[in-house]
Amino acid sequence: MGSALEKLKDRFRRFPGIGVRQAERFVYYLLSRPENERREIAELILHLGKGMLACDRCGRYIESAHRRRCDICADESRDSELLLVVEKDVDFEKIRRSGAYRGHYFILGGTVPILEKEPAARIRLRELLERISTDTEVRELILALSATPQGDHTAEIIRDALEEAGLPHCPTISMLGRGLSTGTEIEYSDDETLQQALKHRE
């Protein structure tokens, strides 16, 4: 079955972007901390999902027991004609911090592997189509996906789905400019690169 130490290393290795050495560092760091600190971390993990929900407009996680819409979606001063699609919450945070964009967002939930036969099982494609079909103010859909083969494949899936849907008010679709180098993930891009990619979207 393996020891608790090895099981914890394996759990950390399942985190996005975490390799064997990083997983080991996490485990040995925790071992070096007092028991009360480890208990506090465990409690925070156990309660992480409580009081959290997904915004009913963009899908990103928000911490609130009294509202179902995030601060961005509720902000009437933002440009309602722009809808920027990102893979995950950390990509949203990265672009938001760059200060280069003043429209609305949609969290897709990931990208689609090239050989995947059921794209809708991997991303929030149905929810995106519903958002566009009901939000007639959206004039431009910006696909801010990572400049990777999976990101490009996912963009094609979205384009094809919109074409097949035959929406009466289908928005213009644009992609981030390739100031974003091929192979780059949004999460690891610097602010200036993101600003240029948004400014020169195609």
* Counted domains in the chain: 2
Question: Which residue reads 């592997």 in tokens?
Answer: 113
**pLDDT tens digits, one per residue of 99-130:** 889 999 999 999 998 888 888 888 999 999 99
139 with 186, same domain?
Answer: yes
> What confidence category does residue 15 fall into, taking pLDDT thresholds of 50, 70 and 90?
confident
> What confidence category does residue 190 fall into, taking pLDDT thresholds of 50, 70 and 90?
confident
Give the integer Cα–Cα distance in Å for 7 and 183. 32
94 with 38, same domain?
Answer: no
pTM above threshold 0.85: no
Q: Residue 121 is part of a domain; what is its CATH number?
A: 3.40.1360.10
Q: Which of 45-49, 62-66, 83-87, 168-172 has the lowest mean pLDDT?
A: 62-66
Give the integer Cα–Cα distance in Å for 165 and 133. 9
110 with 181, same domain?
Answer: yes
Give the integer Cα–Cα distance in Å for 145 and 176. 8
- The answer to whether 170 touches 136, Cβ cutoff 8 Å, is no
More confident residue, 75 or 18: 75
Take residue 82 and report the two structure tokens written for it.
């722009």
Range of the domain at 129: 53-199
